[in-house]
């Protein structure tokens, strides 16, 4: 799995389908308020896209896009986004993760909840993506 798969049809098919999987993953994350979906599912779909590229194109080419060194940082960044939304609510005088208390002027409370959920889902998706891909990378690197 460190090398390319070496078959033209497989490599081309995976390259062709990857952008659509990426788009679908982003749709699942950002449309998670109105249809089945959300951070966990979208992050898993994005990780599946990256793993498909890793399997077909090899580590050397794909590490330029999704560097294995960056993945733990992605996971930590997602967790920090989630925690940051929670701490922002503390600054507004509410409890941890009480999105209604986030201090933004001129936004009604349900709308604050709506956007807080979106940020939290974004953090979850980033975290799931980073964790899945870093687990995959560490398991295939074994020599």
- For another protein, the binding residues (CB under 8 A) are 32-41, 44, 72, 75-76, 78-79, 82-83, 86, 96-97, 99, 110-111, 113-114, 116-117, 120-121, 123-124, 127-128, 130-132, 134-135, 138-139, 141-142
Contacts for 130 with CB less than 8 Å, ≥ 6 apart: 70, 71, 72, 73, 74, 75, 76, 77, 78
Q: Which is nearer to another protein, 10 or 77 (CB)?
A: 77
Shortest Å distance, C-beta 63 to another protein: 16
How buried is 74 (Cβ within 10 angstroms: 0-12 exposed, 13-18 middle, 19+ buried)? buried
Shortest Å distance, C-beta 140 to another protein: 10
Shortest Å distance, C-beta 65 to another protein: 19
Phi, psi of 71 (to 5 degrees): -65, -45
């Amino acid at each position: 799995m460190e090398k390319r798969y070496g078959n033209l049809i497989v490599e081309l098919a995976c390259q062709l389908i990857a952008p659509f999987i990426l788009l679908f993953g982003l749709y699942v994350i950002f449309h998670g308020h109105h249809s089945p979906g959300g951070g966990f599912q979208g992050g898993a779909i994005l990780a599946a896209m990256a793993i498909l590229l890793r399997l077909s194109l090899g580590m050397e080419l794909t590490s330029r896009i999704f560097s294995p060194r960056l993945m733990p940082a992605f996971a930590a960044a997602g967790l920090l986004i989630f925690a940051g939304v929670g701490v922002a609510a503390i600054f507004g005088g509410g409890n941890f993760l009480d999105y209604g208390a986030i201090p933004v002027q001129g936004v009604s409370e349900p709308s604050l909840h709506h956007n807080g959920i979106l940020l939290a889902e974004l953090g979850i998706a980033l975290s799931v993506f980073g964790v899945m891909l870093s687990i995959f990378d560490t398991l295939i690197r074994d020599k």
